[in-house]
Structure 1
Amino acid sequence: MAGLNDAVSVDIEEIYNGGKEHHVKTCHGLVSVVVYGDQEKPALITYPDVALNYLSCFQGLFLCPEAVSLLLHNFCIYHISPPGHEFGAAPVCSTDPSPSVEDLADQILEVLNFFRLESVMCMGITAGAYILSLFAIKHKDRVLGLILISPLCKAPSWSEWFYYKVVSNLLYYYGMSGLLKDRFLQRYFSKEARGSSEVPERDVVHECRRLLGERHGVSLRRFLEAINRRHDITDGLRSLKCRTLIFVGDQSPFHSETLHMVAALDRKYSALVEVQACGSMVTEEQPHAMLIPMEFFFMGFGLYRPGRVSDSPTSPLSPSCISPELLSPESLGLKLKPIKTRVPTKC
């Protein structure tokens, strides 16, 4: 277990009203972890998708007013960034060995040991969901539960492998061009959110486009190539007994893979929430769709005891926004059912 004096800790500008960044030394390089909240509270760790960091992946969810009491008042949040994806990151040396998905999962264990965290709640998006799922398979005793958004679990198909191999090569020669930004935004957001020649893209997409321009090509390529070499973890998922809540937009490119993952998990411990008119990044595009399901998910652990939910038909927390199946007593404990939810297009 690493000691607290083994890391470089620096104050950065207030994030979520006061975050602190730590650079944790691991066997596979430094890892940036932005910590927000009281470290005596239960821990929730996050891991983003390819080319993103915690701000571009989770800001929409964590800045929802309703999410403050749900997340920030009940957990200490540990935002883990893939190597070289943190704000102000120096370019990674191109001669350094590229990490594998196993290396990235092992980094999470070292982060937990550094902060002396016994077991944690995990939240990840797509590639980040794969890394956290792999970590949960390898270290079952360190994971309380999983919240996965548009997760990956299978090895890439030949077409996916070839597509991202071309993307990696374009990054090498041209950097993060406008064309590549469009390709990544298709990965994250629905067609409606990305707009058209007649309709401008939504603010969240515009901001994500800006943040993509800040990524170093070498760091992005290393993470992308690690994910492009991932192996199938379907068999390992069948052995998981931690409760798992999965969100996916019906327009996500990874919708079918998410359904494959749900089929592999034990139905007694997992639930699926499909969000309509949404892409992969439910946290940014329709974060309100996540609040009620997560509230009841956390209640099953005794980690959150909510007040009275608003009955206003315009409230984003109105029970009418989700399937009544999730509100059943079975959903509060071990028997979480696969469900669908329909939410308004606009939060």
Structure 2
Amino acid sequence: MVEEKSKFQKDNVSQSVAKETNEESHACFGFHHHRPSIMHKEVEVETEFGNVHCTVMGVHKGNRPVIMTFHDIGLNHHSCFSPLFSHEDMQEILWHFVVCHVHAPGQHEGASSLPSLYPFPSMDQLSEALLQVLDHFRFQTVIGLGSGAGAYILTKFALNHPDKVEGLVLININVRAETLMNSVAHKLTGWIHALPDYVINHMFGKDEIQNNPDLIAMYRNHITHSVNQSNLAQFIKSYQNRRDLEIERPIPRGSSSARTLSCPALLVVGDGSPAVEAVVDCNAKLNPTKTTLLKMADCGGLPQVSQPGKLTEALKYFIQGMGHMPWASMTRLGHSRATSASGITCDSDLSHSQPAESQHSHAHIYASRESASDKTAEQNVTASSSRTELAC
């Protein structure tokens, strides 16, 4: 959480830095003072592609990046990320970073129908609107956290503005354009299936739809009653018309002209998600020295909802790898047991095993359900020149 006090607004920089350093030292050694609720505000940011509704939580401190989120189709920042950001283990992150939740035009709760003549922005235009959001709030850099369509938008933004993005956490990312077969199928079935059905099948796999009726009913109700259907239809159409991002994996010691992400990326997907194939495909296209694939076992289409604690822990490690929060407490993954391809075994702290420039490629973290025992998980790491698997 972020404390909003008038003294932080004064020009006495040394006093502010001393206060912040003292708080971080206390957190490092496990001393926690009472922390007030995070201040937040709702802002309509005017861009050349229409107004973008933003929810900003906290007060910006110094040159720290801002955590910027972008939701998937059929969702808003509450339904997409609330279980994650309200999780107790997430509060340590919120205390030190401002969070800016960005909504696509007309997708926030209570949104009125967009004007009939309003041209809903393309995915490319939505990504460019983020630059104007940063300028509006005077944010310098961001750590992007996106799901589905939001992950695509943040990835496009990072490709076009690499100096503005320090890292990306991408849930259910698909960097390819929609296939012709899927496009035709959607047009043929569009008259039969309602929008909620389309979104449900986009987010959840068949097994989860059959075996978790309560979760599906909750999200179906949200999509039907909390999201403006006309606006949602336009957002879905925009996502269906997305272009292939044409990302290429850099060739070692080869030309540096390959189009790829220059920042660290954490790709997240549940093993029961319909997006597994797309996420694995994206991972194969990115720089293996800067990319980690997190495949969560016993997890469906929304890891941030079904396993927020596990995802929070992974997020902490990811942020540490970028040089932030070195003192953060790690309560679930703790120490890992690493086994190399040569059979050498050693004990190591996972928080130091994946720095920004040496993150293992093709990493799969198989996480148990949140309801499982809180006993520290033993992780087996099997490494090779092209793949690392993490199991917990």
Normalising by the smaller structure, the TM-score range is 0.7 to 0.9
Partner of 1:47: 70
In 2, Cα distance between equivalents of 1:320 and 1:190: 31
2:203 matched to which residue of 1? 188
Q: Distance in 2 between matches of 1:321 and 1:90?
A: 53
- State the AA in 1 paired with 2:102: I
CA drift at 1:217: 1.8
Task: Classify 1:24/1:291 alpha carbon distance in 2 versus 1 (closer, same or farther; 3 Å).
Answer: same
The alpha-carbon deviation at position 184 of structure 1 amounts to: 2.0
Q: Secondary structure at the match of 2:301?
A: coil
Do the aligned partners of 1:47 and 1:123 also contact (CA within 8 Å) in 2? yes
Q: Can you list the C-alpha shifts for 1:226-247, whole angstroms capped at 9, x where unaligned?
A: 1111111133674321010110
Aligned residues of 1:149 and 1:247 also touching (Cα < 8 A): yes
The answer to which of 335-344 and 48-57 deviates more is: 335-344
Q: Which runs of no fewer than 5 residues in structure 1 stay unpaired?
A: 1-15, 172-176, 311-315
2:21 is matched with: none
**Aligned twin of 2:358:** 335
Aligned to 1:154, which of 164, 169, 176?
Answer: 176
Counterpart for residue 25 of structure 2: none
Pick one of 97, 102, 105 that aligns with 1:75: 97
* Contact 1:101–1:230 (8 Å) recurs in 2: yes
Amino acid at match of 2:108: E
Rounded to whole Å, the distance in 1 between the matches of 2:41 and 2:117 is: 30
Cα deviation for residue 87 of structure 1 reads 1.5
Contact 1:278–1:285, Cα closer than 8 Å, also in 2: yes
Q: Secondary structure at the match of 1:153?
A: coil
Give, in angstroms, the shift of residue 105 of structure 1: 0.8
Match of 2:247, SS? helix
Contact 2:317 2:351 in 1 (8 A): no
> Structure 1 vs Structure 2: percent identity of aligned residues?
27
Give the paired residue count.
Answer: 315
Secondary structure class of the residue paired with 2:156: helix
Distance, in Å, in 2 between the alignment partners of 1:38 and 1:236 is 37
Q: Which has the larger radius of gyration?
A: 2
Query: Is 2:247 the partner of 1:235?
Result: yes
Segment of structure 1 superposing worse, 77-86 or 208-217: 208-217
Distance in 1, Cα, partners of 2:300 & 2:234: 25
Report the Cα offset of residue 327 of structure 1.
1.5
TM-score (norm 2): 0.74
- In 2, the alpha carbon distance for the partners of 1:74 and 1:320 equals 26
Q: Is the 8 A contact 1:126 1:280 kept in 2?
A: no
1:267: how far off? 0.6
Q: Which stretch of the first structure deviates more once superposed, 299-308 or 220-229?
A: 299-308
| Unaligned 5+ runs, structure 2 | 1-36, 250-258, 340-346, 372-392
What letter is aligned with 1:181?
P
Pick aligned residue for 2:287 from 258, 263, 266: 266
TM-score (norm 1): 0.83
CA RMSD after TM alignment: 2.6
Q: Which whole-Å CA distance do the structure 2 matches of 1:330 and 1:128 have between them?
A: 28
C-alpha spacing 1:194/1:318, structure 2 compared with 1 (3 Å): farther
Q: Give the aligned partner of residue 117 of structure 2.
A: 95
CA drift at 1:195: 4.6
What's the CA shift string for 1:104-145, capped at 9, x where partnerless? 111111101111111111010011100110111111111111
CA distance in 2, matches of 1:280, 1:220: 19
Q: Give the whole-Å Cα distance in 1 for the aligned partners of 2:160 and 2:221.
A: 36
1:262–1:21 distance in 2 versus 1, CA, 3 Å: same
CA distance in 2, matches of 1:307, 1:135: 29
Q: How does 1:311-326 map to 2 (within 5 A)?
A: 316-319=332-335
Deviation at 1:277, TM superposition (A): 2.1
The higher relative CO (CA closer than 8 Å, separation ≥ 6) is in: 1
Tell me which of 40, 48, 54 is aligned to 1:19.
40
d(CA) in 1 for partners of 2:98 and 2:232?
28
Partner residue in 2 for 1:313:
none
Contact 1:262-1:270 at 8 Å conserved across structures:
yes
Q: 1:267 to 1:128 in 2, by over 3 A?
A: same
Aligned partner of residue 213 in structure 2, secondary structure: coil
Q: Distance in 1 between matches of 2:303 and 2:71?
A: 12
SS at match of 1:108: helix
What is the DSSP-based 3-state SS (H/G/I as helix, E as strand, rest coil) of the residue aligned with 1:235?
coil
Aligned match for 1:124, one of 137, 146, 151: 146
8 Å Cα contact 1:168-1:224 kept in structure 2 = no
Pair 143,169 (structure 1): closer, same or farther in 2 beyond 3 Å: farther
Match of 1:256 in 2: 277
Q: Distance in 2 between matches of 1:236 and 1:133?
A: 13
Show the counterpart of 1:225.
Answer: 237
Counting only pairs closer than 5 Å after superposition, residues 187-226 of structure 1 correspond to structure 2 as 187-191=202-206, 193-196=208-211, 201-202=213-214, 204-213=215-224, 214-226=226-238
Structure 1 residues 23 and 164: CA distance shift in structure 2, 3 A: farther
